């Protein structure tokens, strides 16, 4: 990536658009953003890439580098909700807890303790070789250089926070029924607020999803295990779509 950035600079492709960095800067700054959301600590690598990427370089008629785009694929979605004891979830979660930007904790309605959130605390929460404070600064700067608006950047943070609240949702079985129901709505309320959803509609969709039978849609009940599976599936899907 740095090699292509040097080509962009040498070729005079470093002009800035309004609110964005130069092409050279954008190519380089794609890395911190991708690593924050796509890299994690594994057993053998503290900064292991958990996705594949294909870098496409575009040249103008003069032969100079004119633009570049990165296509990502095969993100390890399961890591969003589960990690081994010696591993970690994606770096962005722990960057948020670094307290480098305490206003994020307030905005995301979260505490300052990652162990309060089950999806991200099954393994390690700190890594000796990684400074999460510095990495959050790099991630936030990368968004700006890449041309994210303030609203878009906050939207990404909010979705990340919502996923943590998804992991804390609780459900219980109705008496004398196999049907699940919410065991409190606090975390669903927070996740819904961050995602701009109606909390009651979210819980209804999880506990009583609509499925297509023939040409019609019917509402079906779900057991507690089925609801927890659905919650995890939604969390992983949200993260994947946000990353892509």
* CATH label of the domain that carries residue 72: 3.40.850.10
- What lies within 8 Å, CB to CB, of 150 at 6+ separation is none
Buried/exposed 144-160: b ≥16 CB within 10 Å, e otherwise: bbbebeeeebbbbbbbb
The larger pLDDT score, comparing residue 12 to residue 244, is at: 244
Calpha distance 15→96 (Å, rounded): 32
The larger pLDDT score, comparing residue 188 to residue 5, is at: 188
Which of 20-24, 65-69, 101-105, 130-134 comes out lowest in average pLDDT? 20-24
pLDDT of residue 158: 99
Calpha distance 179→157 (Å, rounded): 33
151 to each of 48, 57, 109, 156, how far by Cα in Å? 29, 28, 17, 9
The larger pLDDT score, comparing residue 95 to residue 5, is at: 95
Tokens of 80: 């969003």
Domain contains 136: yes
Tokens of 24: 């050279």
Domain that holds residue 77: 2-148
pLDDT of residue 11: 53
Which of 21-25, 175-179, 181-185, 198-202 comes out lowest in average pLDDT? 21-25
**Under 8 Å between Cβ of 207 and 220:** no
Cα angle, residue 111 at apex, residues 75 and 244 outer, rounded to 5°: 20
The 10s digit of each residue's pLDDT in 187-222 is 999 999 999 999 999 999 999 999 999 999 999 999
Beta bridge partners of 173: 180
Inform me whether the pLDDT recorded for 18 exceeds 50: no
Domain contains 212: no
Percent composition of the chain: helix, strand, coil (DSSP 3-state, to 5) = 50, 15, 35
Domain contains 56: yes
Domain contains 194: no
Domain contains 15: yes
Domain contains 201: no
Domain contains 30: yes
Which of 23-32, 193-202, 218-227 comes out lowest in average pLDDT? 23-32
In the chain, the number of structural domains is 1
Domain contains 13: yes
The 10s digit of each residue's pLDDT in 57-103 is 888 888 877 888 889 999 999 999 999 999 999 999 999 999 999 99
């Amino acid at each position: 990536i740095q090699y292509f950035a040097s080509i962009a600079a040498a070729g005079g492709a470093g002009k800035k658009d309004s609110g964005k960095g130069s092409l050279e800067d954008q190519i380089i700054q794609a890395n911190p953003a991708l690593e924050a959301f796509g890299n994690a600590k594994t057993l053998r690598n503290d900064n292991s890439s958990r996705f594949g990427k294909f870098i496409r370089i575009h040249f103008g008629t003069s032969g100079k580098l004119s633009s570049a785009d990165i296509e990502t694929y095969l993100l390890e979605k399961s890591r969003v909700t589960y990690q081994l004891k010696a591993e970690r979830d994606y770096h962005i979660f722990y960057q948020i807890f670094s307290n480098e930007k305490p206003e994020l904790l307030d905005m995301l309605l979260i505490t300052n303790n990652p162990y309060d959130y089950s999806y991200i605390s099954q393994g390690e929460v700190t890594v000796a070789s990684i400074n999460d404070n510095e990495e959050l600064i790099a991630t936030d700067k990368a968004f700006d250089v890449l041309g994210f608006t303030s609203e878009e950047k906050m939207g990404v943070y909010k979705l990340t926070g919502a996923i943590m609240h998804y992991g804390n949702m609780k459900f219980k079985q109705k008496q004398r029924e196999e049907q699940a129901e919410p065991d409190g709505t606090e975390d669903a309320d927070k996740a819904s607020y961050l995602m701009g959803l109606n909390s009651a509609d979210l819980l209804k969709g999880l506990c009583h999803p609509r499925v297509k039978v023939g040409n019609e849609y019917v509402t079906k009940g779900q057991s507690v295990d089925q609801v927890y599976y659905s919650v995890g599936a939604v969390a992983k899907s949200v993260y994947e779509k946000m990353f892509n």
